[in-house]
Amino acid sequence: MRVEVLCTGDELLTGLTVDTNSPYFMERLVALGEQVARATIVGDVREEILGALTALGARADVVLVSGGLGPTADDLTAACAAEAAGVPLVESAEALAALEARFARRGIVLTPNNRRQALVPQGAEVVLNPNGSAPMFCLQLGQATAFFVPGVPREYRHLVDAEVLPRIRRLRSERPDAGFLAFRLLRTVGLPESHLDAKVAPVAAAHPNVTFGFRTHAPENHLKLMARGRTQAEADAALAAAEAASRAVLGSHVFGQDDERYAAVVGGLLLQRGQTVALAESCTGGRIADLLTSVPGASAWFPGGAVVYANAMKEAWVGVRAETLKAHGAVSEPVAKEMAEGVRQAAGATWGLSVTGIAGPAGGSEEKPVGTVYTALAGPGGTVAQKHRFPGDREQVRTFSAAAALESLRRALLETPP
């Protein structure tokens, strides 16, 4: 089965925007047992879109087209699709009703521009888009089944998962030559990619029927396993063996698998134990609180956090003593410890977690250069602090500081039976 993707949008050709939609689809397609044969990006230019669609209809079996379905004049995809299929654009009653309901809910007037988003090629199957105003549609283009989805990442991702991939799976099931794949992503923290690679190399050599891939997604490193088989059972068995062997060498560096998110894993460990964590953040500036509260239901295990950027706030909210600040400076182990202990007490939490450091670009000194960070964890058994030296820019220092703090909590939770 030949699958291709076509993205439209001038912003993808000026370097302003990097196409992260296609890799999202590509990864999921691989998990389904197929690989994209070609990816094409064209601008918001009628001749380019039309030419690309016509060529795709002649050589592909499945095409995912994204972008250019918005309400503005440079949104040309639906008109080009109709032209490539040799049909007129027609107003979809279903799409228009959804548009009207969407605008009514928000109390916004439906402009003629917006109404254009209900236009689809005649004969296309319309699929409503719960996250946006432009619907998805499916259209036969020559020999290819083409799926047209908006390019807004949230809308794109939902429609790919909920609508496009199940349809491709169905198309695939009708082909007798399609092989089977099994797929697992193991997520690690605390291991540089080269160490991950070195640990896993002997496992990969012992499982030649499984493809081992690596991906860095700071602060995480991921190991991707892909097994092929003539039957699903064969692929699953090969994957299970390779996964077990990989987990054996990686141990607790593996915090989760597939789509599991790090903050949700930490939250789950707290929930299992009926425990809570409160935060005192300086250089991470709310990053850890933001990560934790992105998890639905976080209120069960997260009472709150103090972003204590100024020293006065370190004193007022988490009880750091003025003498400690004066004697050791804000970026120091004693201050990190008092922050963790103070916030634990203020929130009546099981754990108090703190970070104080120099994220840069300014504020470094010879003694405490940019990247110097202290994390501390106060818990039922006492308080432990760690000193770190992170490389990179402000954003990187903040990312790695947040991860190091959360990782100290995860390791402490793993040592506490639920």
**Residues 218 to 257 in contact with a second copy, rule: CB under 8 A:** 218, 224
Query: CB of 282 within 8 A of CB of 372?
Result: no
Among the listed residues 196, 178, 177, 175, the one whose alpha carbon sits nearest the alpha carbon of residue 187: 196
Binding string, 338-367, against a second copy, x = CB under 8 A? Answer: --------xxx-----------xxx-----
The residue (of 87 and 178) whose beta carbon lies closer to a second copy is 178
C-alpha span between 140 and 210 (Å, rounded): 35
Neighbours of 110 (CB within 10 A): 16
CA dist 172 → 53, 55, 180, 415 (Å): 22, 22, 11, 46
The angle formed by the CA atoms of residues 194, 34 and 11, to the nearest 5 degrees, is 75
| Region 157-216 residues binding a second copy, contact defined as CB under 8 A | 185, 192-194, 197-198, 201, 204, 211-216
Helix (H) or strand (E) holding 113: helix 112-115
Closest distance of CB 123 from a second copy, Å: 27
| Region 141-160 residues binding a second copy, contact defined as CB under 8 A | 152, 154
Give the three-state DSSP class for 34.
coil
Residue 206 burial by Cβ neighbours in a 10 Å radius (0-12, 13-18, 19+)? exposed
CA dist 328 → 2, 325, 331, 332, 397 (Å): 64, 6, 8, 6, 21
The dihedrals phi and psi of 40, each to the nearest 5 degrees, come to: -130, 140
Closest distance of CB 30 from a second copy, Å: 5
| Region 93-122 residues binding a second copy, contact defined as CB under 8 A | 105-106, 108, 111, 113-114
Query: CB of 3 within 8 A of CB of 62?
Result: yes
C-alpha span between 49 and 46 (Å, rounded): 5
Tokens of 215: 């991906």
Among 254, 288, 358, 378, indicate the residue that binds a second copy (CB under 8 A).
288
Among 1, 37, 89, 241, indicate the residue that binds a second copy (CB under 8 A).
37
Closest distance of CB 180 from a second copy, Å: 15
Which stretch, 80-88, 172-180, 288-296, 378-386, contacts a second copy (CB under 8 A)? 288-296
| Region 42-61 residues binding a second copy, contact defined as CB under 8 A | 42-45, 48, 52
Binding to a second copy by residue 271, rule CB under 8 A? no
Among 1, 126, 271, 307, indicate the residue that binds a second copy (CB under 8 A).
307
Binding to a second copy by residue 286, rule CB under 8 A? yes
Binding to a second copy by residue 27, rule CB under 8 A? yes
Amino acid type, 282? S
The residue (of 16 and 248) whose beta carbon lies closer to a second copy is 16
Binding to a second copy by residue 381, rule CB under 8 A? no
Binding to a second copy by residue 15, rule CB under 8 A? yes
Among the listed residues 278, 286, 289, 280, the one whose alpha carbon sits nearest the alpha carbon of residue 347: 278
The residue (of 201 and 414) whose beta carbon lies closer to a second copy is 201
